[in-house]
Chains A and B, each alone.
Chain A
């Protein structure tokens, strides 16, 4: 810096757009000079991040200028996995794609398998796949966090993640469960800072005490996979102390619903409903039956009912019976969870104290859906947030349901100080579509692929009893798989099970590396050939991405995507929204610079393909393109009348919100507004949203639904009860015999907990092995970034003090970690602040030689490692020869964190992590050595 330094203007222009590194979608200011990005910082006016920006977003320049960027469409020349490609024109590339896809569309659209990874445009890609007509579409939620989403939607019509948030300004006690740096990172960090400075308390439940868990006021170092037991124990204690919100349970949940408990009755396990199908409750005063929506009803919680021989018990009574059981007492769960009973009791006491003795209220009249007027929003200021640590277990769905039950009995959902929904949520499962599977020649699918089933009648079986989808979603092995099962796709395509397919088309998902279990096996399946024909078993693979990842080499045709600063996108209410509890928001991305290479935005390419394939919805009557580009689609497309991807600046006056005619100047309006649109929710509609008439009316006005959708929380999940009763099902829907026991045990309509650990194997594999996302990187996208890779250039396996001492590890040692599936050799490090029976590492740092624009001998490849190699997508063979999927039995969520291992010290003179994979050649050059 010169002594006489005079600060200068930083750039010619500031473009406001949206970051892309994670599911936060922060607003960023991009300074551009001569079509070059010269500086990126946070947008102060943006509702999500208010000017802050994390390490990932701040390093955006080198994400955008990454050496690993693909330059031109590629056609594979060598073998899959070799990395030998030739560059082709876009014209040629699309010609090839059409040549492959057109015949499929005509004869057997299900043979196109189209799955997307980390994109944020599922609303569009799903619609495209629907128009193509294949049932085989989903995004990555199945291996990500479907447990969280499904449990939440079914129970409370919302979820953690970016669908809801703790009330950062008013909560007094926040409980974090299984949260590492994850969705939705910056708002959580902003909130945590605010909360601590206000004097609020944070309790963190996580096997590892890093990140948010480090700043918590109390940390519970729980054993992985046992959170459900802890939660139900807290429920048990609260019931014992009589610290539950009876009024909330009465009026806002299905606690008063009557469940048929007569074994022989044909409505056994179902709710008592009147002839219109409306569930009935007993009135506390009159003891007579009334509709639960009745304006005058005061629902009883404990009164049973009998109709002839049929007995009905309230959900509430069933819940009490279940959770007052001694097995949930803290002293009986302490060992399993690794948390002392006094801590559990103490935590329950704290929660109860804050919820009931420190309640708050906001004076505001509001009317509930029954027409009852109230004069305040009562707030019980305990909030919860949960993430992947809960989700990525095979008991994750029930565990997440348990968390919601805990929130419900505390009366703390969508109240001041509690968990609050972000628009367009709450949206009960009934307001979501059902899944659709009806495919046929030369026509679109009969509806959106993914949705929420109400019972076995909605499962994905064809009339002949075969499974409709390649990923076997919505079948008895995983009936509520609301996000599909991307992690089974490659296996099933390879096995031709349930049927053979032709083209596998993937977008932005590193399936040949860190997004698959048992990477070596996955790679084999992508590269194996039929012995008789010499063709690949999976005939054709099309892959689209921006960067040269480990998966690119395994595809046949590569469609290179732009970077996030070169594209249009919409962060839409129809997709994965942003927003605040008091505000509805959406946002855009737009090209702040033009690409300097021959790449095209993937969504533009899809539209182009759609026109060439003459898909309905993408063409006009004369067969010409309906939309000129993805930007055009964003502005013009109407999913429902007046409702399009972006909710702001609609209508001829360009001022309508939510509903309005398409505006072909809409994107410009967003640009002028800072890249986003937002509108406040009126105060009388801000709380108690599922039952708040003002909110329901506002939501209809805003186009979030077409009719008011008030609902009550589903403590007892009737669809699960329906799934449990498999007796009277038609033949094509009946489950296999091997599944019957599991269905009857695990699909309990009230949350339960089971252990993921096989006690026989616990001796051979005594430790839990998990990963966490590092704050400065996200999935595999960090290592190509020349700044971020200096922070995490390789990873170590962190072990507890107990394990460290037991195996006499010292600094610099290596260890062999073995699971039932395989073993890896990795460097170890000591961390004391973690559960004593757990080992862990940072996620996705290990890379493969030759990829990501890095030199072949980088630490990322030689010392970095993945735990994926230890995990198999199928559990070991059972005595009957059957291999269960390594996933949640209800949603199919990949159970990454169920992994159990043993560890031993090894000599590793070469200091190479194992397994090592052969170098992949790269069609793009290694990045520069010196960067100034």
Chain B
């Protein structure tokens, strides 16, 4: 799939923002943070979530109908994501308003916001995981990796002692995901033969193109990344998303949010590469029509 920067940023930033919201609601519920922290981190989380959501609208070709995307929550994960994110952010807004104006901690609202934050990230991931047309995504590992990344991001910022567990968990999911992705490409039930209606595996190739230039399908859904290149990016991703933050956290003596923020930033950088690969390496089955065996 074409790795569109707007979509990658959307999932990374909104994932991070919602991760922060999830944590702050939990910490608020257990009274482990001050009102100031509740307000600032709710706003920070909300800010990243909104930046992410706005980024996603850049991908829309007909933005004026975007408002209609709330209507199909009964069947569409994207619609559910829209609804859940609005509910979550509304709850955050209510929570922050009460803490700021009424000086009253609506911790139930806070924890509900956390739950909806978690749900939002889940619905985001399901947009991709539901697609049978992209076998590499069509696995529970997809929501797992989105959720674990989101929670991990929030933890690095807000609860570093839990972050290490998160880093281990995330590493496992990430590695499993890459293993699954590689094997799904090899073991895909779909190939050019099934794409053309043949049931046995025939040796078929394309000898002439349907059109000599690009089109929407090729631009959007057929993307090739070289094996060596992809391996290199996996290393870089793992380095920044897991190894460096782990090392830094272990060596860290400072109990400063600024430092934590720097660690988060490095983690998000690694996550960007991971998410880039998530798109770039994913084979959409329509590719078979264009590439041949």
Contact = CB atoms under 8 A, between A and B. Distances in A.
Do chains A and B stick together as partners? yes
Interface of A: 790-794, 798, 829-833, 859
Nearest to B207: A831
Interface string B196-218: 00000000010110111101000
A859 B212 contact: yes
A793 B207 contact: no
Interface in B79-114: none
B207 A791 contact: no
B212 A832 contact: no
A790 B211 contact: yes
A833 B205 CA distance: 11
Contact of A790 (B205, B207, B212): B212
Contacts of B205: 832
Contacts of B212: 790-794, 859
B211 A829 contact: no
B210 to A, nearest CB: 8
Interface size class of B (residues with CB under 8 A): under 10
Contacts of A831: 207-208
19 contacts: A790-B211, A790-B212, A790-B215, A791-B210, A791-B211, A791-B212, A793-B211, A793-B212, A793-B213, A798-B207, A798-B208, A829-B207, A829-B208, A830-B207, A831-B207, A831-B208, A832-B205, A859-B212, A859-B213
B223 to A, nearest CB: 17
Contacts of B215: 790
Contacts of B211: 790-791, 793
A67 B205 CA distance: 37
Interface in B181-232: 205, 207-208, 210-213, 215
Interface in B126-167: none
B20 to A, nearest CB: 41
B287 to A, nearest CB: 15
A93 B212 CA distance: 41
Contacts, number: 24
A792 B212 CA distance: 6
Provide the main secondary structure of the chain B interface.
loop
A830 B215 CA distance: 23
A830 B208 CA distance: 9
A790 B216 CA distance: 13
A419 B49 CA distance: 75
Contacts of A833: 207
A618 to B, nearest CB: 47
A793 B211 CA distance: 8
B169 to A, nearest CB: 42
Contacts of A829: 207-208
Interface of B: 205, 207-208, 210-213, 215
A799 to B, nearest CB: 11
Given A791-B212, A831-B208, A832-B205, 7 more contacts: A791-B210, A792-B212, A793-B212, A793-B213, A794-B212, A829-B208, A830-B207
Q: Which of B210, B213, B215 has the most CB of A within 10 A?
A: B213
Contacts of A859: 212-213
A832 B213 contact: no
Contact of B207 (A792, A794, A832): A832
A213 B210 CA distance: 19
A791 B207 CA distance: 14
A751 to B, nearest CB: 35
A805 B207 CA distance: 16
Nearest to A833: B207
A875 to B, nearest CB: 33
Which 7 residue pairs across A and B have the least CB separation, nearest first? A793-B212, A831-B207, A790-B211, A794-B212, A793-B213, A791-B211, A792-B212
Contacts of A794: 212
Contacts of A790: 211-213, 215
Contacts of A832: 205, 207
Interface centre among B205, B208, B211, B215 (most CB of A within 10 A): B208
A62 to B, nearest CB: 16
Nearest to B212: A793
A790 B215 CA distance: 9
B62 to A, nearest CB: 15
A293 to B, nearest CB: 55
The listed residue with most A CB atoms (<10 A of its CB), out of B205, B207, B210, B211, is B207
A614 to B, nearest CB: 52
A804 to B, nearest CB: 11
Contacts of B208: 798, 829, 831
B229 to A, nearest CB: 17
Identify which of B207, B208, B212 gathers the most chain A CB atoms within 10 Å of its CB: B212
Nearest to A845: B212
A794 B211 CA distance: 10
Nearest to A794: B212
B240 to A, nearest CB: 34
Residue in A790, A830, A859 with the greatest tally of chain B CB atoms within 10 Å: A790
A831 B292 CA distance: 13
Nearest to A796: B208
A403 to B, nearest CB: 29
Nearest to B291: A811
B209 to A, nearest CB: 9
A490 B200 CA distance: 57
Contacts of A798: 207-208
Contacts of A792: 212
A232 B213 CA distance: 45
B197 to A, nearest CB: 16
Contacts of B207: 798, 829-833
Contacts of A791: 210-212
A798 B208 CA distance: 9
A785 to B, nearest CB: 14
A790 B205 CA distance: 21
B14 to A, nearest CB: 32
A437 B208 CA distance: 49
Contacts of A830: 207
B208 to A, nearest CB: 8
Contacts of B210: 791
A859 B212 CA distance: 9
Nearest to B215: A790
A792 B215 CA distance: 14
B19 to A, nearest CB: 40
B204 to A, nearest CB: 11
Nearest to B213: A793
A92 to B, nearest CB: 42
A830 B292 CA distance: 12
A798 to B, nearest CB: 7
A798 B205 CA distance: 14
Contacts of B213: 790, 793, 859
A832 B212 CA distance: 20
B56 to A, nearest CB: 26
A829 B208 CA distance: 8
Nearest to A829: B207
B234 to A, nearest CB: 26
A827 to B, nearest CB: 11
A258 to B, nearest CB: 54
Nearest to A860: B212
A831 B207 CA distance: 6
A830 B206 CA distance: 9
B84 to A, nearest CB: 27
A205 B233 CA distance: 52
A777 to B, nearest CB: 12
A589 to B, nearest CB: 31
A237 B56 CA distance: 73
A790 B213 CA distance: 7
A833 B206 CA distance: 11
A174 B74 CA distance: 58
B277 to A, nearest CB: 24
A483 B261 CA distance: 85
A91 B259 CA distance: 86
Nearest to A864: B212
A55 B187 CA distance: 39
A833 B207 CA distance: 9
Nearest to B211: A790
